[in-house]
Structure 1
Amino acid sequence: MRNHLALLPGWGFSVDVLEPLRQALLARNPHWHISVHRLPEVPAEHWLAALEQDVPADAWLLGWSLGGQLAQALAAQRGEHCPGVISLAASPSFVARPDWPHGMPPATLQAFSEGLSQALQATLKRFGLLCSQGAAEPRALARALQSHALTECTALPAGLAHLAALDNRAALASYLGPQLYVLAGNDALVPAEVAPDLLAILPDVEVQLIEDLSHALLLEQPELLAELVDVFVHEAADV
């Protein structure tokens, strides 16, 4: 079994947000070799090429939120060279589309884009509040997220451009590797209602819904996520 796992964070946050999950994964399986990768600081059209260079070949790909979408796109691009992809609180299309109703309205995403240039820190705080909405202790979780928020605008506009444009549905339909989607029951950004839509277009993937968690599930239940990931990878390797 290939035991390299590459982690990608979500929009607006540093790689430090992944540390609780990384530690939980290693505690669950000390044989994992885990690398953590920043979102690229290049123009949006070069992100996948940058990730292709940065993320080790033959690694399992795991991403949260935008990182999940990027992991999906990279897995589809690598094809048989990617052993599998795991998406946490991420669907193939973050925004709603005429044939994909369970996503963020494009106007809401546009408002975040405008806020970056007008009030960066306030925009990131608002996003953190959305990420923590639905958690058992949303204020404490929002404060924890704020401690991992990016302080510069370098990669943020390109990240929003990807959230608006990325639609991985067709690419993932041709990707033959195992796919796991972990959704949160109280997610205010990627609603749990997307699960049937996922299975309609990708009937062979595994979808795990964890009730009572928010979009920031990786900070709420890192041990549970580590268990799901470890079991999924081992079962996929045994097929």
Structure 2
Amino acid sequence: MTRLILLPGWGLGPAALQPLVAALNEQGLPTELAELPALESADPEIWLAELDARLSADCWLGGWSLGGMLAGALAARRGARCKGLLTLASNACFVARADWPGAMAADTFAAFRAGCATDAAATLRRFAMLCAQGGAEARALGRQLQQGLPAQELAQLLAGLDVLAALDNRAALASFAGPQLHLLAEADALVPAEAAAALLALLPAGEVDLLEGSGHACVLEQPQALAALLAEFVREAGDD
């Protein structure tokens, strides 16, 4: 039977994805919410090795933001042992590079990381509001995200940011032959919607769609609609 494992994004913990997981299960797509690695290493390969050892094989992989990037890298690593890939508000590169401009500016990211190192609690609160930006009820959504913040070690938070900056999934997405769907949010303050065309150009086959009227926290804002889209894609891939 088809199963999906979803990975959460940086900093906010798994609570933001719980409504989506419930909605996916209601749609008949058995979905498990996994934790990000609790590591102090900034090496993406160490994170991927930990996930590969811990997560079941022969299922679909997916995730939100950093979780989606890790899912994409792990899908390529597993190849035929991964049934398909679903990402939400995830870029191929989170931080802009000379040949990947549709991403967060490097100086903006550096300032954010420095803020986290100085005052992690304040940075996480600001991050929750940035995630909520672009949503219909941004202020209430930001408060909701802040309510689910888990206690986290600073070294692990910083390692997660370093992994986020280091990951470059362009080759991974281009090499993964299974079905893949990448959903970006039109008003995302963290992952620019203009990355959609470049992302689509990478894929051997697959889809990139834009969610209108939503920001980075689309997973919490419209879980039912997202679950319907994701479940339909899995069904159409012939893996139901």
TM, length-normalised to structure 2:
0.94
Give the aligned partner of residue 127 of structure 2.
127
SS at structure 2 position matched to 1:84: strand
Q: Go from structure 1 to structure 2 and tell me whether the alpha carbon gap of 1:238 and 1:8 turns closer, same or farther (over 3 Å shift).
A: closer
Contact 1:41/1:154 (<8 A) preserved: no
Question: CA separation in 1, counterparts of 2:4 and 2:69?
Answer: 16
* Amino-acid identity (%): 52
SS at structure 1 position matched to 2:230: helix
SS at structure 1 position matched to 2:86: strand
After TM superposition, list the pairs within 5 Å mapping 1:88-237 onto structure 2: 88-152=88-152, 153-202=154-203, 204-237=205-238
Give the aligned partner of residue 33 of structure 2.
36
| 84-93 vs 112-121, greater mean Cα deviation | 112-121
Q: Which amino acid aligns with 1:23?
A: A
SS at structure 2 position matched to 1:180: strand
Contact 1:37/1:54 (<8 A) preserved: no
Give the aligned partner of residue 64 of structure 1.
64
The CA deviation string for residues 190-236 of structure 1, in whole angstroms up to 9 with x for no partner, is 11111111122225221121110010000110001100110100111
Give the aligned partner of residue 2 of structure 2.
3
Question: CA separation in 1, counterparts of 2:55 and 2:239?
Answer: 24
Question: CA separation in 1, counterparts of 2:73 and 2:117?
Answer: 28
SS at structure 1 position matched to 2:96: coil
Question: CA separation in 2, counterparts of 1:33 and 1:55?
Answer: 15
1:154 CA displacement: 4.7
- Which blocks of at least 5 consecutive residues in structure 2 are unaligned? none
CA RMSD of aligned residues (A): 1.4
Question: CA separation in 2, counterparts of 1:26 and 1:96?
Answer: 35
1:16 CA displacement: 1.6
Runs of 4 or more consecutive aligned structure 1 residues displaced over 6 Å after TM superposition: none
TM, length-normalised to structure 1:
0.95
Question: CA separation in 1, counterparts of 2:5 and 2:229?
Answer: 16
Contact 1:87/1:182 (<8 A) preserved: yes
1:54 CA displacement: 1.5
